[in-house]
Amino acid sequence: MKQERSQTALLLVALVVVSLSGFAFWRTSQEPGREQLSSSPPPQAQPEVVEASSEPSLADLVGQLRQRSEALAGLPEGPQREEVVRKLLTESKEVGNHAIAAHRADLTARIGQMLIDVNETKFAEAFLQRSVGLLKPAEHGKDAMYPLAQVRRASGRPLEAASLYERAIDIEPTMPAEFVGLSDLYLAAGRMGPARAAVTRGLARHKESVDLAVQGAKVALLDGKAPEAATSLRTILQSQRNHVGAQLVFVEALLATGALAEASREAEGLRADFPEDPWGWIFGGAVLRATGELEEGSTMLARATELAGDCPCTHEERLTIAWASELSKAPQVAPRARTEIPNAAPTPPKTSPSTGAPG
């Protein structure tokens, strides 16, 4: 009898564990992905396809392509690199065709982003356009729309990129990052009204989003309301001190209100926390130039330029470096205008004849 009761108890425990596991999995699957600070939202979660054969899965093949693309960073320009890139593009096309045939928009997005990161933007745009055209975003996922928008924005076509985000937002569920990205694209196109409206639309669906609150402050800053933006961002940072997006806009608001010493401290904190990220160096250089330390500012901007590189994924950083390199001594610094000239690449920083650094 004791043995039967023991077996019955074990069976009940097993059933409870299975039930709880299923509930935990259900809850996890309902939670949105972690919000990103860039204008490109995170890919939608897709169930991993488990393949019965011993051959590598499509996801494995995409991962291998990513690893090989990252290895390109160590190869100098020349015939060897060109051959590696040629093979990478050939295999990317082959794996990408399989991903499209399998209706894996999440994987086509990863391939497209990988191609963007190695600066093969024309190939990336053609591939992503094909993916978006052949796969139904409402059915197969809208992942590929984001890197395609990134390419178009980087090539001076922010309104074309915005139209992709508008299409994505029409498909539920939405994410705060989609509305932030849409607002940024309208700012790049010089459309202040739609940029503000994108924030309002986003907050109507995601009332508690800190990212959207930060974007609202950015729009206010660019609309000539620097004190209001600084106050709003200070409040946000009191409870969300590690929100990098808020920190970046806050530094710009401090520059606009003439709080140069506080802006310098904020930029120094960014460099301490993220030494390999260009933003702390960009704003550090901007503060130095605004206080009249032009050579020191140029040196800092040279470091920012090195960290940013020339990938389309650092388009915003390079535009801000160009803005900072034009600053001179002033009690206040107007925020960088986000409007971009269509079909024009970011202006490279001027070169100092004495140091060879941006000047």
- Tell me, what's the pLDDT at 40? 52
Q: How many CA atoms lie within 13 A of 17 on its CB side?
A: 6
User: pLDDT tens for residues 132-146?
Assistant: 999 999 999 999 999
More reliable by pLDDT, 46 or 326 = 326
CA distance readout (Å), 235 to 36, 55, 64, 179, 222? 20, 53, 44, 22, 19
Q: Two tokens at 332?
A: 């206040």
* DSSP classification of residue 172: S
The mean pLDDT of the chain is 85
Statement: residue 343 has pLDDT above 50: no
Statement: residue 351 has pLDDT above 50: no
Residue 5 lies in a domain: no
- Tell me, what's the pLDDT at 56? 85
Q: Which domain holds residue 89?
A: 59-69+81-154
* CA dist., res. 241 & res. 234, Å (int): 9
Q: Two tokens at 283?
A: 């704003």
User: pLDDT tens for residues 38-74?
Assistant: 445 555 555 555 444 557 899 999 999 999 999 888 8
Residue 325 lies in a domain: yes
Q: Please give the angle made by the CA atoms of 279, 188 and 238, to the nearest 5 degrees.
A: 45
- Tell me, what's the pLDDT at 84? 93
Residue 88 lies in a domain: yes
Residue 225 lies in a domain: no
Q: Which of 128, 154, 180 is the last residue of a domain?
A: 154
Q: Two tokens at 166?
A: 């508008």
Q: Which of 92, 122, 154 is the last residue of a domain?
A: 154
More reliable by pLDDT, 358 or 328 = 328
Segment 190-206 shows an average pLDDT of 97
Segment 286-310 shows an average pLDDT of 96
DSSP string for residues in 304-327: HHHHHTT-GGGHHHHHHHHHHHT-
Residue 122 lies in a domain: yes
Residue 160 lies in a domain: no
Cβ pair 269, 242 in contact under 8 A: no
Q: Which of 98, 131, 154 is the last residue of a domain?
A: 154
- Tell me, what's the pLDDT at 311? 83
Segment 212-229 shows an average pLDDT of 98
- Tell me, what's the pLDDT at 39? 47
Segment 157-183 shows an average pLDDT of 97
> Largest Cα–Cα distance of the chain, in whole Å?
93
More reliable by pLDDT, 196 or 55 = 196
Residue 141 lies in a domain: yes
Segment 78-99 shows an average pLDDT of 95
Domains identified in the chain, total number: 2
Cβ pair 197, 216 in contact under 8 A: no
User: pLDDT tens for residues 112-125?
Assistant: 999 999 999 999 99
More reliable by pLDDT, 210 or 17 = 210
Conformation bin of residue 350: beta by default, left when phi > 0, alpha when psi is -120 to 50:
beta
More reliable by pLDDT, 357 or 267 = 267
| CATH code of the domain in which 98 resides | 1.25.40
Q: Two tokens at 277?
A: 């990220």
* CA dist., res. 358 & res. 125, Å (int): 31
- Tell me, what's the pLDDT at 310? 86
- Tell me, what's the pLDDT at 313? 84
Segment 346-351 shows an average pLDDT of 40
* CA dist., res. 347 & res. 126, Å (int): 26
Residue 142 lies in a domain: yes
CA distance readout (Å), 217 to 3, 138, 199, 250, 349? 67, 32, 10, 9, 28
